[in-house]
Amino acid sequence: METLDQIFVLAKHWLVARVPEPLAWLATILLSIGPLITVFASCFAITTIVERKALGRIQNRFGPNRVGPFGLLQPLADGLKMLIKEDLVPAQADKVVHLLAPFALVVPAWLTFSVLPFGRNMTVIDLDAGLLFFFAVGASSELAVFMAGWSSRNKYALMGAMRGIAQMISYEVPLVLSTVAVVMSVGSLSLPSIVEAQSAYVFGMPTWHVFTPWGLSGFILFLIAGAAEANRAPFDLPEAESEIIAGYLTEYSGFKYALFFMGEYLGLFAITGMGITLFLGGWTAPVSFLATTPSWFWFFAKFGAIIALFIWVRGTVPRLRMDQLMKFAWKFLVPLTLVNLVVAAFWHFSGTWQFPGAIFARWLLGAGFIGGAYVTLGRALHTNQFPPRVYAYAE
Amino acid sequence: MPTLPDLLFYALAGFTLLFGFLCVANPFSRNPVTSAMFLVLTIISMAGLFVLLQAFFLAAVQVLVYAGAVMVLFLFVIMLLDIKEEERRRLNKAALGIGGVAVLAIAGLLVRALVQATPLASAAGQRAEGSTKPLGRLLFTEYLLPFEILSVLLLVAMVGVILLSKKEMK
């Protein structure tokens, strides 16, 4: 079991030992990056077909079923089509920026995976400020969106970029604030140590952060803000096809479009991996008697479950309006994340309570505080009547 | 024989200066967006310099705050205002004179600071803080007052913007 758990680490060491000494550093780097790219590129291919199938079922149709058995080879066909499609660049476009934009999205998206722990001892780089690195690199996707929208010289592309940037900046605030609660309670920005902090078991049950009042609400807030950050439905306004064609992707075709598409899914995977690491105990097993099973298996099991949740949400929740989107971020999510921070502090300091039933009291108080804030905010923001209409040019 | 960090330092410093120059005086393009993009590259090169100093936290914050948030807001404003390519203006002699004086004053300050600075060898003992904890401890103990004053400054700016941009209530 120990060997199975560490099989990828051992395989890497075995391979590095076979390489001549002067080239060992190169082999180490390549053997860290290569599997990462292979695994998540395959995840991308699998997710596209699963998503199209699942959306088809939700919408009462079959989904792709022509290529290969049950349509399983659809990603291959898509990839081939993207490769041989003509690459169109608008005559007026800023050629250099137009070309650089997809790379500015995909390269940082890959970089974010370098700090995520995929299993025991399976982190590419254990940075001291790993969480901060993750968000710093992820922030450059806003720049890529801007570059794409601005360089295309297309109204719809520019509008999509404006929407995208406004949305990403707004939702970055609740996204980061919801992770601060975890940093506060663990006392470290390093992701492997955040996983370590959740690896204990109490009565055979895991001590994941999601099993605390602040962790549960933080996880939900993180998923909502993360979906918005990854431009995922119901927050896919930057590329709302029924309003602004394809947003900032309008003038992209062929492989550049495929790169953008991949960059968005990689962003989603990164957010998912981060959510698992922060709240769902990373690579730890859900029950103690399964703790000897391979750690990487649990990471990818949770990964698949969260991705399935995102697909489900995409298939069932309608898209928001722009003003709703902004109000939801600033008036609802940000205050709730701030309340969540207070609850996390309360949970941390009430850990010394000794009287019997203390855990229930802590749960009740914490959950009551968050729930109270949720209800109060919802009531306060709910206006049942529309303002009187003003017909500016008709009176 | 210069070591790899030395070479990286000179490369990054060169990039910082080059991109900084291209940001303010690009001979090929007068477009404000191009300038903003070069500013992003300048900031990223500076983050590289922080990494060379083992200050990973500062490097990440540099990229997160400046290249991420601040630059995107710049670009947002440029996009909203639809600024056209800037025309070349004739040089104003008075402005040139004042600018020259300012440049000389800053250069003098820098030279003075360089002369008075302790040599690198003696400063090697207290290397730039890479880990997050000492930085936080310093910010909230020794440098608490400057830190709080800076926050108040930002708050003042925010209140000012809201006051300026808010339409008058009838």
Same domain as B99, residue B28: no
CA separation for the pair B154, B125 (Å, rounded): 34
Query: For residue A108, is pLDDT > 90?
Result: no
Domain range annotation of chain A: 87-378
Q: What is the pLDDT of residue A384?
A: 67
For chain B positions 103-122, those within 8 Å of chain A (CB to CB) are none
Q: What is the pLDDT of residue B124?
A: 46
Contact A220, A350 (CB under 8 A): no
CA separation for the pair B128, A305 (Å, rounded): 42
Residues of chain B contacting residue A168, judged by C-beta atoms under 8 Å apart? 72
Same domain as B68, residue B3: yes
Same domain as B13, residue B79: yes
Q: What is the pLDDT of residues B91-105, one digit of tens each?
A: 778 888 898 999 999
Same domain as B58, residue B6: yes
Closest to B130 (Cβ–Cβ): which among A128, A142, A162? A128
Residues of chain A contacting residue B37, judged by C-beta atoms under 8 Å apart? 97, 147
Residues of chain A contacting residue B67, judged by C-beta atoms under 8 Å apart? 139-140, 143
How many Cβ contacts (< 8 angstroms) between chains A and B?
65
Same domain as B36, residue B113: no
A165 in contact with chain B, both atoms CB, cutoff 8 A: yes
CA separation for the pair A260, A258 (Å, rounded): 5
Which segment, A311-315, B75-79, B138-142, is predicted with the most confidence on average?
A311-315
Structural domain count, chain B: 3
Does residue B112 form part of some domain?
yes
The phi, psi pair for B24, rounded to 5°, reads: -95, -30
B68 in contact with chain A, both atoms CB, cutoff 8 A: yes
Q: What is the pLDDT of residues A277-304, one digit of tens each?
A: 988 888 888 877 777 778 888 888 899 9
CA separation for the pair A217, A337 (Å, rounded): 8
Average pLDDT over every residue of A85-104 = 84
Instruction: Give percent of chain B above pLDDT 90.
Output: 13
Interchain CB distance below 8 Å, A136 and B68: yes
Does residue B165 form part of some domain?
yes
Reported ipTM: 0.71
Q: What is the pLDDT of residues B125-141, one digit of tens each?
A: 444 445 677 778 888 88
Contact A301, A272 (CB under 8 A): no
Same domain as B100, residue B135: no
Contact B26, B34 (CB under 8 A): yes
Does residue B123 form part of some domain?
no
Same domain as B111, residue B79: no
Q: What is the pLDDT of residues A320-332, one digit of tens each?
A: 888 888 888 888 8
Query: Between residues A127 and A53, which one has the greater pLDDT?
Result: A53
Contact A74, A68 (CB under 8 A): yes
Cα B91 from chain centroid (whole Å):
26
pLDDT band at B106; cut points 50, 70, 90: very high
Same domain as B79, residue B150: no
Interchain CB distance below 8 Å, B40 and A143: yes
Does residue B126 form part of some domain?
no
Query: Between residues A341 and A21, which one has the greater pLDDT?
Result: A341
Q: Which domain holds residue B113?
A: 91-117
Same domain as B79, residue B21: yes
Query: Between residues A143 and A225, which one has the greater pLDDT?
Result: A225
Interchain CB distance below 8 Å, A129 and B60: yes
Same domain as B96, residue B33: no
Does residue B14 form part of some domain?
yes
**This prediction's pTM:** 0.83
Query: For residue A178, is pLDDT > 80?
Result: yes
Same domain as B61, residue B7: yes
Same domain as B48, residue B2: yes
Q: What is the pLDDT of residue B152?
A: 94
Closest to B72 (Cβ–Cβ): which among A97, A169, A189? A169
Say which residue the tokens 């940001």 belong to.
Answer: B23
Say which residue the tokens 């992209």 belong to.
Answer: A252
Query: For residue A185, is pLDDT > 80?
Result: yes
Does residue B125 form part of some domain?
no
Does residue B78 form part of some domain?
yes
B135 in contact with chain A, both atoms CB, cutoff 8 A: no
Residues of chain B contacting residue A162, judged by C-beta atoms under 8 Å apart? 76, 79-80
Residues present in chain A in total: 395
Shortest CA distance to A280 belongs to which of A366, A173, A194? A194
